[in-house]
Chain A
Amino acid sequence: AAAAAAAAMLSLDFLDDVRRMNKRQLYYQVLNFGMIVSSALMIWKGLMVVTGSESPIVVVLSGSMEPAFHRGDLLFLTNRIEDPIRVGEIVVFRIEGREIPIVHRVLKIHEKQNGDIKFLTKGDNNAVDDRGLYKQGQHWLEKKDVVGRARGFVPYIGIVTILMNDYPKFKYAVLFLLGLFVLVHRE
């Protein structure tokens, strides 16, 4: 009973705090929050422009590029048109109609005089090339399928994204706590 009473007291204190914040402070907090979100978005868009890629940072989702990359590794991509696609490069591409990007290595390229290029990919850890993964009837990938080329990477950090995807409760918990923290934080 004492524990329950203590808990009730604590939650009342908490509510008091919130009530004490007058309307102006609340609006200020909301604006602050808005600024943080906008800055983050601007940085992301800036990265998209600088790298030329629609998704400059991706998380490795499968083990098909082991032992180089593992699930949860973070990759930094560029997709500049001036950089031609060459064998040996690690490309992140999307198959038409599918959302999930794939990270594999370029195995063959055939490029025409005018720059049109068609290429084949394969995961380092796979026994066969990716033809089986492509769309029905599709034998090659083209520039338009490419999200970017992997230029750098950091291990492990992307695990958080995978956790949030696989365990939605975890994602909601994180978002809820963040929201709470921002609204209640006095600065």
Chain B
Amino acid sequence: LRKNVEDFTGPRERSDLGFVTFDITADILNEKNGLQTFRNESTSIIFDWNVKQLFLYLSAEYSTKNNALNQVVLWDKIMLRGDNPRLSLKDMKSKYFFFDDGNGLKGNRNITLTLSWNVVPNAGILPLVTGSGHVSVPFPDTYETTKSY
């Protein structure tokens, strides 16, 4: 589950650059296949004996005139077995530049942010799991010309 905070676009030569500030609140331990389980049922579903680590990433997905589907990873984190499975991050800036391929961020009303993770086992299959809960973020219609990021 996550929440989000607003953002703005800035022009960089040709492509739109978006800035997103976000909060992440997630309880990875109790998420299974995207559905939240109740506390009194089994725990540690995600971090079982064969899980070495989780590679978490926050991705933004959206459509533009140029491209039917765009996905950009804004932030990622490696969560090792034994690390605190509850995330509570506030006011995070994106780790990676959110460039669009073109100018599709301006006025784009529907950017969906989702938290997903890659389960890395000690040996075996490498699944990608999407967390439950996603947030839709709109970008404003105008560019910000002065930026201090």
Contact = CB atoms under 8 A, between A and B. Distances in A.
Given A67-B78, A68-B55, A110 B101 contact: yes
Interface in A149-175: 150-155
B116 A108 contact: no
A68 B116 contact: no
Contacts of B124: 152-154
B35 interface: no
A88 B118 contact: yes
B52 A68 contact: yes
B121 to A, nearest CB: 8
Contacts of A108: 70-73, 96, 99
A67 B118 CA distance: 13
B8 to A, nearest CB: 20
Nearest to A109: B71
A153 B55 contact: no
Interface string A107-128: 1111111000010000010000
A107 B96 contact: yes
A90 interface: yes
B118 A90 contact: yes
A86 interface: yes
A129 interface: yes
Interface in B93-122: 96, 99, 101, 116-118, 120-122
B45 interface: no
* A interface secondary structure, majority: strand
B92 interface: no
A107 B53 contact: no
Given A88-B57, A152-B124, A67 B71 contact: no
A104 interface: no
Contacts of A67: 52-53, 78, 80
8 contacts: A68-B53, A68-B118, A68-B120, A88-B117, A107-B72, A108-B71, A111-B69, A151-B126
Interface of B: 52-53, 55, 57, 59, 66-73, 76, 78, 80, 96, 99, 101, 116-118, 120-126, 128
Q: Which 3 A-B residue pairs are closest in the complex by CB-CB distance?
A: A110-B101, A111-B69, A113-B68
Interface of A: 67-68, 86-90, 105, 107-113, 118, 124, 129, 150-155
